Structure 1
């Protein structure tokens, strides 16, 4: 219904009044695809303009991404391009968006007719993780794009867990925040965290977050969006992108406007501890249109819900996280952008997350506490230079990640013992690339990168007995008693990678694009035993380290064919490879080398429509993956994490998604993934753990997964909006590892969530419920690796309610 009174958005008006600006000046504008109502709020904040909408039904119109140094008028025109609305200028700093009038008949004699208002075209989604800013219809592969509207503060506080509930092909080991391993598209090696490289690459902007370490689980506050590209992605991202990559895109500093956001929430867990979260974002222009600083700080406390009956303690698995980000942007002119950023985050878990089903669904009996912690720091310099149709991007940074873990190592008839492991990871990386986006039938990228990464794992064993104990938990490692630690053998792995890569796309005919690329990598590997115990011979150590010190050169080709000749329909086929370098590991108190592994994937699929934009959007793909010399982190006979090549495998993957938009304000979304994985050529030591001719599924690969979601938005009045979301995700059955000991089942559960929020101008109130069904599903079947006899499970967090408030200024 037409409204005669303008809807003037409070946030935009307030900012404009607080800091007046000339709307004719060009400002840095960064707006993700979404709906017109949210877009004009952001545009008002970024340009200092007052923007009203004359008809509240226009607020639900889809809008494309708008980025660049623009005037408020130019940005509004881009937002409304092709839409059934136009912009009217009220004064130098005030604008009104109105519905376009229907066309009038050409002559008075003709009967009066009203021409129906055409539906707006679907907003363009740009896949920036492709490094060439490809529109989604022209990206040959599977990608999930989570925009900023889908990450309210409650989900931002949850970190990577919020992505698990949104991406059906993404899975985790659920060992605890900061120590989880993430897997995409069933490319999973194992459950425990050893010295091997991750199968899924993670990035903050253009900066690599991880290498030989688990997911750092950065909190997702103040994010512009998250892109998940299924792998392998070897051509553009190199080693460690076998399953794909996750790219988090933070909001950049705004060079023109002062502003920010504050959020707070409190949560309660059924039969558990309370929790809470607090965050603040501040954007400060230092020199208007030249220099600006953006700061983000946060703290999150997650209540515990596991009881330890042996020690008589309740809710032992509490977790606390605090951290922040800072980004300084300098734009000397419209062609240069220089960003200097930093990240710090600390995670402290009071105890392990697992329970023992023989005792209770949310209980266990441990002799000692098993705390863990993660210290993560990053600094990054990014420089971008823009020409007419060329872009040069240089990204250089350094990461330091220290993960400390502990496990109950108590054995029958021995005093309480604790095994500690600390993994110190450092990463230096730089990448420089020149890009021409696909235009006039030609697009390409060429670049070079260099990476140095070191992982140093140190170990110790502590007995709390009153005197030295003769029994041994780890051969060759004494139990001193009295809480004195004894050193166990550790390992250091280092790698230096120099790489050249390139990719080019050519439109052979209208709507037919072929893309070919390749990556040439030279890796220099070295390994070293740390604090070797006397039981190990010097000759054995020297022999293993000599094998680890080597040079490897590998070439990864890629090829894809895409057609979007039929409007709204994309059909593609692609071939891509990926790899991980080798290294050293300690296995049964022997220092041994593991070699590199390599993956090749053939994929074919299609996309029709855009989810949340078109009435119906469909996508599906089929992939065959060949995985050679699979690296896996395993548990040796002593109980220590180690890395070994377990053989060759193959994976068939089928994925499908349908998103239906029956009403402009309502979207129904469903997705499914089926995996058939086999370890068809296991190595001798794996065969020794299994029955003859037994077919083995790859560990941690669920055979079936799926997700159903609902999203509903509407305007209650001129300045009040409502947003409802709900989801249910099924995680199928998988096995912890290979062999009878690690072959226990896990998964086979449904996780549910619902969020309701009401916004009025800059203020938002929200209510979130997770695990609505209070399911007790098993997410991960490993407790302590020193006791593999127990029926250990990692349960879902019981039903949790959170009440939150957000305020933008």
Structure 2
């Protein structure tokens, strides 16, 4: 603000204060004259000294009948007494015009018109500093925690369709979900391509796809989705993109709490409750504790009708997620956050079928139980200097994943008779430690920078077993034959005869890195950002066969992942940007007895070239963004099979992805009505021929988990009925067709879903009651969303695990809170 404007504002406040004093003086004079009928003398200085010093707020819009809209008049010589001072008038004295001497009174200014709503500006920390999403020169989508709770989201699958350019194939047969960004996604058993970070704590394993963390978005500030490689700031686990969960921080000196309950009913399935709670505890002036958790019962929809086993809704699931965050601020410059998070899922049946959904499984003679989860502890310490902030993030996490999958469907004729013949067990335990130190500039001036060091140490113990078993209509025949089989020298235990027994004990993965970036504003509206990460990675594994160590393997790599971005912002309503960045991921080892199987697979690297435009129109009520990109992916990791029970990983020579993303958000002239449309068109294909175990994959073959077209449209409406606040939304999504693997064994996707949500609340009441109802998949669309398996011939003989869209689901929510 200029000094002239500052003096002008001070002068206006002085005029307002004098006018108020004079007005009070006139009122007092009238009152005393009425009592004594004698003229009074007044000391203006004494009267002003008695007024409390204050700075008036900016004037609010006033109705036409407000006293502020009436012209001011001097003290009158009329004999009628002056009116008593009106307190409401003192709040609006800044709007009283000062009358010029020897001139006609000027008309009072008109009241300010009511400001219309504007599109919300979301502040994120996805680039390791606080910035508006409109200022970051990369493609980023941000969803607020409130919006996610309004949708009834409890997992990533509930909201990921709202992000253009992202696609997911559901978890299937114990294989974790596959998430792809712009056509860059993992194949079965390969290393992940999209990182997950909670706060500043990475939760994605650098190696393997055993336990995929899927935090419950309850009580979050935001979920931030960064598209394109983020290797310069986040390292090996963010080859194609990054999802960052940002929890609400504890609040000092403030009590706050919420309690929420869901009742969910699925067509052709069952109904089940879920509960969530949050409590913020201020403990003294410098300490606060925030507790949040949820207990979800996911309804089952899968029925079993196999001889000896007839059950309904067997795939229900129990999911617990909880966290505690302690904030201590002993100094104004020092902030310490200690957080602990735990999540656990378990069920009696992996949720897949091998036939058209709606028909009970007739080849599942025994259950397929599972249990997985993780624990994570993080210490985040920050010290503010005048010129920068020093940040230390220390994290430790453990994960576990245990599955016992009945794979008897591979011998379908026997399974349909109720004969259990095969089942696969997998047990994975991991632990990881990470440490990051970084120094971030305070954001003043044309230069902005950050720099730091990072290192992580990860260990996994993995054991996979395939058992030959014999149980007929629930009768454990193999168990009774165990003594005889052991006498014959066969590897028999309580689970049956071990056909394969492989793993790693242990597998170690390390990453050491130095990273940084610098931004410079020049010519007022141009910003250049240059950064990068120099890294060293090492993977060391001790394979086991039949429970015994089998040598030791080591794979090392190092490199530099640069980042360059340039953005031009000629006005607050327009930004045009371009960026170039590089991502990378770990390589690894194969376990196989087949000589033709390569003993290891290499790291993948990805170059991204992106240009984009962000625009705001009509006083920030219309927003239109457009992004175009080209990705060059070298040595993608793909899953291959030397036999149905002997998978391994290989590298495709090269792939490319080209596409566009667009978002339109409009707050219409009808108060409360909004429209948002987002879409992505992507073509991700192999750029070289590739020889797979199922034949040649020619150049130009579509990459798996990469639909060409995705789109989402949302119509929202908010309205107040007296003190009641209501909101409603209608969301339609289109998921294009894609393939489940590089060999195009099955086609998934190609469907549309429609969802509806309505909520009503009274936030003015002390207990803040709210109620909402939602209907997902209104038209009960039935479509394939994930598939495993090889060729169509193999699928016809041994079956293929399949997952379909969830049938129509109705959700009722009640919540209460205080603050």
TM-score under structure 1 length normalisation: 0.80
Q: Distance in 2 between matches of 1:379 and 1:359?
A: 40
- Residue in 1 that maps onto 2:220: 223
**What does residue range 11-50 of structure 1 map to in structure 2 within 5 Å?**
none
Over 3 Å counting, the alpha-carbon distance change for 1:482 and 1:324 in structure 2 is closer
- Structure 2 counterpart of 1:251: 248
Q: Distance in 2 between matches of 1:100 and 1:571?
A: 45
What's the counterpart of residue 524 of structure 2? 510
| Structure 2 contact 688–699 (Cα < 8 Å) conserved | no
| Contact 1:462–1:480 (CA under 8 A) maintained in structure 2 | no
Residue-by-residue CA offset, 1:314-339 (whole Å, 9 max, x unaligned): 11111110131011110002211101
Cα contact 2:520–2:528 (8 A) shared by 1: yes
CA distance in structure 1 between the aligned counterparts of 2:746 and 2:175, rounded to whole angstroms: 24
Alignment match, 1:272? 269
Aligned residue in 2 for 1:352: 350
The farther-off stretch of 565-574 and 524-533 is 524-533
Pick the aligned partner of 2:663 from 633, 657, 660: 657
- Report how far residue 632 of structure 1 moved: 2.7
Q: Residues 343, 84 of structure 1: CA spacing in aligned structure 2 closer, same or farther, 3 A cutoff?
A: farther
Return the offset for 1:153.
6.6
Residue aligned with 2:400, SS: strand
Shift of 1:505: 0.4
Give per-residue Cα distances to partners, 1:514-541, cap 9 Å, x unaligned: 100010001122122123479xxx9xx5
CA distance in 2, matches of 1:121, 1:320: 41
> Compared with structure 1, are the counterparts of its residues 638 and 111 closer, same or farther at alpha carbon in structure 2 (3 Å cutoff)?
same
Is contact 2:446-2:522 (8 Å) kept?
yes
Given candidates 160, 164, 171, the residue that maps to 2:160 is 164
Cα separation, 2, equivalents of 1:425 and 1:353: 24
2:625–2:663 CA contact under 8 A, matched in 1: yes
Q: 2:133 aligns to what?
A: 136
Task: Identify which of 192, 210, 216 aligns with 1:198.
Answer: 192
What is the aligned partner in structure 1 of residue 20 from structure 2?
Answer: none
Give 1:731-770 correspondences, 5 Å limit: 731-739=735-743, 743-761=745-763, 762-770=768-776
Match of 2:559 in 1: 554
- What CA distance in whole angstroms lies between the structure 1 residues aligned with 2:598 and 2:425? 19
- Which among 801, 807, 811 is matched to residue 802 of structure 1? 811
| 1:304 and 2:297 matched | no
CA gap of 1:330–1:203, structure 2 versus 1, over 3 A, is same
Answer whether contact 1:454 1:493 (CA < 8 A) is retained: yes
Q: 1:21 matched to which residue of 2? A: none
State whether structure 2 residue 733 is matched by structure 1 residue 726: no
Change (3 A) 1:106 1:791: farther
Check the 8 A contact 2:539/2:555 in 1, yes or no: yes
Whole-angstrom distance in 2 between the partners of 1:83 and 1:197: 57
Partner of 1:674: 681
1:607 aligned to 586, 607, 614, which one?
614
Structure 1: gaps (5+ residues)? 1-75, 86-94, 471-476
For the residue of structure 2 that corresponds to 1:747, the secondary structure is strand
Select which of 517, 533, 547 maps to 1:519. 533
Query: Structure 1: how far apart are the matches of 2:58 and 2:738?
Result: 48
Tell me how far apart the structure 2 counterparts of residues 770 and 588 of structure 1 sit (CA, whole Å). Answer: 47
1:102 and 1:458, CA in 2 relative to 1: closer, same or farther beyond 3 A?
Answer: farther
From the superposition, tell whether residues 417 and 661 of structure 1 become closer, same or farther in structure 2 (CA, over 3 Å). same
Aligned mates of 1:359, 1:808 — CA distance in 2: 40
Counterpart contact for 1:105–1:113, Cα < 8 Å: no
Match of 1:772 in 2: 778
Q: How does 1:290-301 map to 2 (within 5 A)?
A: 290-301=286-297
The CA deviation at 1:485 is 5.8
| Counterparts in 2 of 1:122 and 1:643: CA distance versus 1, 3 Å | same
C-alpha distance in 2 between matches for 1:235 and 1:674: 26
What do residues 461-519 of structure 1 show as CA deviations (whole Å, max 9, x unaligned)? 2333124999xxxxxx9684863362511134311111100100011211100100010
Counterpart Cα distance in 2 of 1:201 and 1:792: 26
Which among 193, 201, 208 is matched to residue 202 of structure 2? Answer: 208
User: How far off its partner does 1:788 sit?
Assistant: 3.6
- Once the 2 structures are TM-superposed, how far is the Cα of residue 268 of structure 1 from its aligned partner? 1.0
Quote how far apart the aligned CAs of 1:293 are: 1.2
Asked whether the 8 Å contact 1:462–1:481 carries over to 2, the reply is no
In structure 1, what is the equivalent of residue 404 of structure 2? 406
In 2: Cα distance, 1:358 partner to 1:617 partner: 42
TM (normalized to structure 2)? 0.79
Inter-partner Cα distance in structure 2 for 1:459 and 1:777: 32
Among candidates 140, 152, 156, match of residue 155 of structure 1:
152
Specify whether residues 784 and 562 from structure 1 end up closer, same or farther in structure 2 by C-alpha distance, changes over 3 A only. same
The structure with the larger Rg is 2
Q: Is the 8 A contact 1:209 1:216 kept in 2?
A: yes
Structure-2 separation of matches of 1:665 and 1:782: 45
When the two structures are aligned, how many residues end up with a matched partner? 697
- 353-362 or 197-206: bigger deviation: 353-362
Q: Which residue of 2 is the match for residue 528 of structure 1?
A: 542
Contact 1:181 1:215 (C-alpha < 8 Å) held by counterparts: no
Residue 376 of structure 2 corresponds to: 378
- Verify the 8 A CA contact 1:425 1:455 in the aligned structure 2: yes
The separation in 1 between residues aligned to 2:131 and 2:317, in whole angstroms, is 39
Q: Does the 8 Å contact 1:461/1:479 carry over to 2?
A: no
Superposition RMSD on alpha carbons, in Å? 3.3
2:633 aligned residue (627, 634, 637): 627
Return the alpha-carbon distance in structure 2 between the equivalents of residues 105 and 662 of structure 1: 39
User: Contact 1:655–1:671 (CA<8 Å) still a contact in 2?
Assistant: yes
Cα pair 1:574 1:602 within 8 Å, conserved: yes
Check 1:765–1:636 CA distance in 2 against 1; reply closer, same or farther (3 A cut).
farther
Change (3 A) 1:692 1:200: closer
Structure 1 residues 168 and 340: alpha-carbon distance in aligned structure 2, compared to 1, 3 A threshold: same
Kindly tell me: are residues 604 and 522 of structure 1, through their superposed partners in 2, closer, same or farther at Cα, counting changes over 3 Å? Answer: same
Cα pair distance change 1:711/1:388, threshold 3 Å: farther
- Which residue is equivalent to 2:502? 489
Deviations 1:344-372 (A, max 9, x none): 11101321222233574565532322222
Q: What CA distance in whole angstroms lies between the structure 1 residues aligned with 2:544 and 2:746?
A: 33
Tell me: CA distance 1:332–1:523, structure 2 relative to 1, closer, same or farther (3 Å).
Answer: same
Partner of 1:236: 233
Cα distance in 1 for residues equivalent to 2:127 and 2:168: 24
Higher mean C-alpha deviation, range 409-418 or range 341-350? 409-418
Q: Decide which of 283, 287, 308 is 1:286's aligned counterpart.
A: 283
